[in-house]
Amino acid sequence: MNSALKKRIGNVLSWVMTFLLMLVICVPGLWVVLTAFRPNSEVLAKPAVWIPQNFNLNNFAKIFGFGAEQVAIPVPAYFTNSLIIALTSTAIALLIGMSGGYAFARYRFRFKNGLFLGLMLSRTVPGIALSLPVFMIWSRIGLIDAKLGLIIVYVALNVPFTVWLIDGFFRQIPKEMSEAAQVDGCTRWEAFWKIEFPLAKSGIASAGIFAFLTSWNEYALASQLTRSTDSKTLPVGLMDFTAQFTIDWAGMSAMAVIIIIPALVLTFLVQKHLIAGLTFGGVKG
Amino acid sequence: MSNIAKGVPFWRKEQFTPFILLSPAILTLMFVVLLPLLFSLYTSFTGYRLIRPESLYDWVGFRNYERIFSNKNFWIAFGRTILFLTIALNVEFILGLGIALLINRITWGQRTLRTFMMFPMMFSPILVGYQFKFIFNDNIGILNNALQALGLSDGAIPWLVDKYLAMFSILFAEIWMSTSVFAILLLAGLFAMPRDPLEAAKVDGCNAWQVFRHITLPFIMPFAFIAMTIRSLDVARAYDIVDVMTGGGPAGRTELLWTLIARVGYDNSRMGQANAMAYVSILLSILFTYYFFTKLLAARKYMGGAE
Amino acid sequence: MIRKVLKNLTIATALPLLFVGGVVAEDIDYGKFDDYTLRVKLIGGAQYEPLYAEIEKWEAMTGAKVDVLSRKNHFELDREIKQDIAAGTLDWCVGSNHTSFAPQYGSIYIDLNGVIPEATLAEFQELALKNSTVDGRLVQLPRHSDISNLYYKKSLYADQANKDNFKAKHGYDLTPPETWAQFKDQAIFFADAPTFYGTQYVGKDEAITGRFYELLVAEGGQLFDENWNPTFNSEAGVRAVQWFKDLYDAKAVPAGVLNYLWDDTGLGFASGTVALNLDWAGWASFFNDPENSKVAGDIGLVRAPVGSGGKRSGWSGSHTFSITETCDNKEAAASFISFLTSHERQMVEATKGLLPTRAKVWDDAKAEFAGAGNDFMVNVFETYAVSMTEDAFTPPLITPWIEVSNELWPRLQAAILGEMTPQEALDEAAAETKIIMEDAGYN
């Protein structure tokens, strides 16, 4: 009975702890979401208004330039830029990563470990440190304020991690499978697409998510390399907004919600792959 | 094309294939990382000022490095960055471990919990920074409002201004954002753990702590190193958070190397000097990553994976 | 490249469309720039937006389109423009500018003498134009001027209990502050953190540098001597820093004040939780508008206080517009900035309280307020008119002003927070400033 009681207490305790943890994880985000639908007068009120009285879409209408007030933050343009840049750079990074990951998983060659380490280390260069020289070079070759300029940078940013994850996945697939296919008359190329690619799909999907999130959320480089609506992304747009209206918290929150929604949707769509991808790709590799 | 006559062209030979497969990756990184780094190495020896393009050719030798090494503020920021990284990574590890163990215990609703746990991973560091700037705001922040409403505090606590609280606030934001990476990886480690040694240990009369210390922990350590490596790859994303929350201020109280670099380079337009600082920060990042990476490789061998 | 070609093509083909489209009645002919897109970078913030709502009219009259590339506070805008200079991305035409910031941009902006007709220029205030001139070139067209005076919550001063308590404590009558010392006394007296504050000040960037600078002058100090050696680490300088620090230590200002910029202080006063607010005229109508402001109808205004040096603080300057040297259609750009600084547009801004740079708008705006029975705004215009003529002074219009400011303000913060003594902070800033001035060739 003593031990049964202990177990019960333990269970209750772990539930309470979990609940508190979830609270800490969720409340900050939820508060921002809530704020996005409230008027500033209520957000800034003293003493605080805890139970929202006014719920409306005015902040969003304002940002998108409907409604009476003129707040021309070109969110639609930023949104499109973000989407184009994040998707394109993810696709390219995946192609390059698959090719590189396959090489690491399937071949023995000189400098293999050195190359792998070099690849990883290239990712550790802090974005802000990289932004200084990239800014200077890009400005000389006309890649400043161009989507292409940002896409190239994001591809490079994502390649190392993509290679790492995908390498791990290819390693799990027994070599014999593709060899058997080649005996049956497939070329190595065909064997790759028919046998290995489908098996490594979840690894590729999770690498893709990571690449997308990195590109979608990146700020340090984007803030320097973009200049106008031609290329500015949503995180830069949010910072612009805060620099224009230093105290419009409701508007900023609405902008924040606009940034988070696509990331949330996409991540939940493939979240099953995400955990598998992280663990197997990383460990077994 | 003429090569075909001689038989297999060199680019189809087996020993070149991996290099050809790797070449897009290598070329991209050379163009976007290596080349700029060489360029910035050069400029760190010049007096390059952003608004005076001709100063790019103004060679000053080691003056930038001498200046920053003798600069008190630089060393303070350097020390603070290391402190920041050490505290953040350790707390993230311990919290992540705690969360993983907790969730591993719970059987009902575990999937949902796991999903919630991944929530912060999707947040842009900019958003995390903004969100906590809002929460920690001394005047309208939800935290101060809550404390005042509950009667726990009668003053406006200056979360983003006070010497210690400001550091605490940016650390909190950073830890909030990144703990889930640890939690997920460690949870995966716990899932993958074989049951037999645990049962055997219990039969042998080990208590819960002994089981954890001698069986569970060693088993999940490699997972911890993966998490550390992944984290150290992009730990500099903390720049975004700090930039939004405090901008390194007030009075440089939350100045990290990264915010200092941005200020010197872009605000004061002393690119040469900023690049010299950037080099120090790059070396620091590489050191951190290299350390965890060697640990990871060792752990992989221990796990019996291919090398 | 391609875009440019396309642009030229569209301009060529658009000619037949010249006189189509609704034309708004206006005396001045702003020209025709059909299908031309004018790229601009403007200062953003609550007080600047009403003018931008007028842009539509210019678009309708000229057939051009305005593409606002950025709209940020001036400190962020300054950072962006410097990066544009470095990257060679000055592919825009009109930028917001400020008399204090203009000297550092070198020759990226054109001389407006000859571009804007002399007759038009003659309608502007002479001093505003003089301050807009750098090395003999008129690099900017003044939009409105800024100088700060002291707003206060009237009811606090009418309250008998306040009067008695204050007199008992400080030995003089509670009337709106005439000196900076009284300003401090009263701010501390009224404060009741965290629900009510005595005053607020802007706590970062060039904003606090400017406040420090005007207080320094009021205390009898100067930033530089005649050879451009920094002299602000004087006793007057220490007194100035001490003023900020005393208020901070007494919790008479919000603890987060070091992160505040102009919108924060203005909206703070409008929220009714602040007793005194040294601010520019741009907020006046906002403060007195019951829809936005809890202090509407309860606002008094006096001239900025006198320092111990016997001088009133009067840090002043003008917000302006400039045209880039690289602009691909300077004619359209000139039309645009003429439009934004025209009599009608200045009247729009003046009714909000922004101080016009055209002499005639001062009178017309005041007459309009008087006609509408708006005594408050008449008072605002009269008070600011006096301070503009008697108290106004600009910071040194030197190239490295912002760089000097960047050395100063973090150290002002450090002194306010008690990380260093005011003397240490100013000494350190002065040493750095000396290097900057030498590097820039000033001595």
Binary contact (B176, A28; C-beta < 8 A): yes
Neighbours of chain B (3+ CB pairs under 8 A): A, C
Q: Does B267 touch chain C (CB under 8 A)?
A: yes
- Cα–chain-centroid distance for residue A186? 37
Separation CA B296–CA B305 (nearest Å): 11
Q: What angle do CA B258, B264, B268 make, to 5 degrees?
A: 150
pLDDT given for residue C442 in this prediction: 82
Measured in Å, how far apart are chain B's first and last C-alpha atoms?
37
pTM score, two decimals? 0.82
Taking contacts as CB-CB distances below 8 angstroms, the residues of chain C near B138 are: 194, 254-256
Cβ contact B307:B105 at 8 Å:
no
Query: Do the Cβ atoms of B258 and A130 come within 8 Å?
Result: no
Residue B24 has pLDDT above 80, yes or no: yes
Residue B267 tokens read as 């605000």
Contact with chain A for residue C54, Cβ under 8 A: no
Which residues 7-46 on chain B approach chain C with CB closer than 8 angstroms? none
Residue-wise pLDDT tens digits, A8-53: 888 888 888 888 888 888 888 888 888 888 887 777 776 677 777 7
Does C207 contact chain B (CB < 8 Å)?
Answer: no
Query: Does residue A144 sit at the C interface (CB-CB below 8 Å)?
Result: yes
As given in the structure block, the two tokens for residue B97 are 């471990």
Contacts of C256 in chain B (CB under 8 A): 137-139, 156, 158, 160-161
Both C184 and C273 in a single domain? yes
Q: The dihedral of CA A13, A18, A23, A25: what is its sign?
A: positive
B174 Cβ neighbours under 8 A, 6+ residues apart: B84, B88, B238, B241
Contact list, A72 vs chain C (CB under 8 Å): 52, 68, 71
Residue A227 and residue C44: Cβ atoms within 8 Å?
Answer: no
Reduced to 3 states, what is the DSSP secondary structure of residue C162? helix
Mean pLDDT of B55-84: 89
Using a CB-CB cut-off of 8 Å, the residues of chain A touching C68 are 72
Which residue of chain C comes nearest to B71, CA vs CA?
C432
Residues C411, C431 share a domain? yes
Q: Do A278 and B192 touch (CB under 8 A)?
A: no
Q: Does A223 touch chain C (CB under 8 A)?
A: no
Q: Kindly list the structural domains of chain A, giving each domain's residue range(s) and its CATH number in brackets, ordered by start.
A: 2-56 (no CATH), 75-284 (1.10.3720.10)
Question: In sequence order, which residues have a C-beta less than 8 Å from that of residue A189 and are 6 or more positions away?
Answer: none
| Contact yes or no for C72 and A240 at CB 8 A | yes
Q: Give yes or no for a contact between C145 and C358, defined as CB atoms under 8 angstroms apart.
A: no
For residue B263, which residues of chain C lie inside 8 Å, CB to CB?
406
Contact C87 A139 (CB under 8 A): yes
Residues C431 and C282 in one domain: yes
C70/A228 CB distance under 8 A: yes
With a CB cutoff of 8 Å and minimum separation 6, the contacts of C302 are C149, C150, C152, C176, C177, C178, C383
- Render A189-252 in DSSP notation, one character per residue: HHHIIIIIHHHTHHHHHHHHHHHHHHHHH--TTHHHH--STTT--HHHHHHHHHHHSTT-HHHH
Domain boundary among C354, C381, C408: C381
Tell me the nearest-neighbour CA distance from A88 into chain B, angstroms. 15
Structure tokens of C254?
Answer: 């919000």
Give yes or no: residues C64 and C142 share one domain.
yes
C69 and C125 part of one domain = yes
Where do the DSSP E strands lie in C82-239? Answer: 94-98, 133-134, 137-138, 141-146, 148-153
Residue C390 lies in a domain: no
B197-244 residue pLDDT tens = 888 887 888 888 888 888 888 888 878 887 887 787 777 778 889 988
In this complex, the residue of A44, A145, A246 whose CB is nearest that of residue C271 is A44
Nearest to B97 by CA among B186, B176, B181: B186
Same domain membership, residue C132 and residue C157: no
- pLDDT by 10s per residue, chain C, length 443: 444 444 444 444 443 333 333 334 456 789 899 999 999 999 987 778 889 889 999 999 999 999 888 888 887 888 888 888 877 788 899 999 999 999 988 789 999 998 999 999 999 998 899 989 998 999 999 999 999 999 999 999 999 999 999 999 999 999 999 999 999 999 999 999 778 999 999 998 889 999 999 999 999 999 999 999 999 999 999 999 999 999 999 999 988 899 888 888 888 898 888 999 999 998 898 899 888 788 999 999 999 999 999 999 999 999 999 999 999 999 999 999 999 999 999 999 998 889 999 999 999 999 999 999 999 999 999 999 999 989 999 999 888 888 899 889 999 999 999 989 999 999 999 999 998 898 888 86
Q: Are C270 and C289 in contact (CB under 8 A)?
A: no
Q: From CA C240, how far away is CA C139, in angstroms rounded?
A: 33
| Residue C388 counted as domain residue | no
Same domain, C285 and C434: yes
Q: Are C203 and C259 in contact (CB under 8 A)?
A: yes
Pairs across B and C, CB distance < 8 A: 79
A212 vs B contacts (CB less than 8 Å) = none
| A160–B126 C-beta distance less than 8 A | no
> Does residue C296 sit in the same domain as residue C358?
no
Out of C381, C406, C424, a domain closes at C381
Domains of chain B are: 71-303 (1.10.3720.10)
DSSP bridge pairs for C152: C276, C300
Beta bridge partners of C144: C319, C356
> What are the two backbone dihedrals, phi and then psi, of residue C134, each rounded to the nearest 5 degrees?
-120, 125
The alpha-carbon gap from A204 to the nearest alpha carbon of chain B, in Å, equals 16
| Residue C381 C-alpha, separation from nearest chain A C-alpha, in angstroms | 26
Question: Which residue on chain B is closest to C264 by alpha carbon?
Answer: B139
Q: What is the CATH number of the domain that holds C161?
A: 3.40.190.10
Residue C389 lies in a domain: no
- Of A246, A245, A225, the C-alpha closest to A236 is A225
For A99-147, write each residue's pLDDT tens digit.
999 998 888 888 888 888 888 888 888 888 888 889 888 888 888 888 9
Do the Cβ atoms of B36 and A130 come within 8 Å?
Answer: yes
Give the domain extent around C273.
Answer: 148-315+398-439
Residues C301 and C222 in one domain: yes
In a shared domain, residues C424 and C311: yes
Distance, CA of A233 to CA of A262 (rounded, Å): 14
Give residue C156's pLDDT: 95
Tell me if C183 is assigned to some domain.
Answer: yes
Unique residue bearing structure tokens 């001394």: B138
* Beta strand segments in C44-147, E: 65-72, 94-98, 133-134, 137-138, 141-146
Q: How many domains does the structure of chain C reveal?
A: 2
Whether residue A128 and residue B18 make contact (CB cut-off 8 A), yes or no, is: no
pLDDT above 90: percentage of residues in chain A:
15
Exposure of B184 by Cβ count < 10 A (0-12 exposed, 13-18 middle, 19+ buried)? buried
Query: Cβ separation of A135 and C87 shorter than 8 Å?
Result: yes
Distance, CA of C8 to CA of C196 (rounded, Å): 59
> Who has greater pLDDT, A254 or A74?
A254
In a domain, C98, yes or no: yes
Cross-chain CB nearest to C89 (options A70, A227, A243) = A227
* C391 part of a folded domain: no
Same domain, C162 and C273: yes
Whether C392 is covered by a domain: the verdict is: no
Q: Name the residue among B51, B162, B250 with its Cβ closest to that of C86.
A: B51
Query: How far is residue C252's CA from residue C250's CA, in Å, rounded to a whole number?
Result: 5
Instruction: Enumerate the residues of chain C whose CB falls inside 8 A of the CB of residue B163.
Output: 417
pLDDT tops 80 at residue A267: no
Using a pLDDT cut of 90, give the percent of chain B over it. Answer: 17
Nearest-Å Rg of the Cα atoms of chain C is: 23
Q: Which residue of B has its CA nearest to C414?
A: B251
Chain B nearest C-alpha distance from C240 (Å): 18
Same domain, C153 and C273: yes
Angstroms from C257 CA to nearest CA on chain A: 13
CB < 8 Å to C83, chain B: 50, 266
Contacts of C76 in chain B (CB under 8 A): none
Residue C174 inside a domain? The answer is yes
Cβ contact, residue pair B123, A134, below 8 Å: no
CA C320, CA C94: separation in Å to the nearest integer?
Answer: 10
Cα C63 to Cα C19: distance, rounded to the nearest angstrom: 9
Helices within B106-162 (DSSP H only): 110-117, 125-136, 142-149
By Cβ distance, the residue of C256, C406, C413 closest to B267 is: C406
Q: What's the burial of A222, exposed, middle or buried (CB within 10 Å: 0-12/13-18/19+)?
A: buried
Q: Cβ–Cβ of B102/A121 closer than 8 Å?
A: no
Q: With contacts defined as CB-CB under 8 Å, which chain A residues touch C195?
A: 46
**Among all residues of chain B, which has the CA nearest to that of A240?**
B244
From edge to edge, which strands make up the β-sheet containing C148-153? C276-280, C148-153, C299-302
Say which DSSP state B51 is in: T
Phi-psi label, residue A268: left if phi above 0, alpha if psi -120 to 50, beta otherwise: alpha
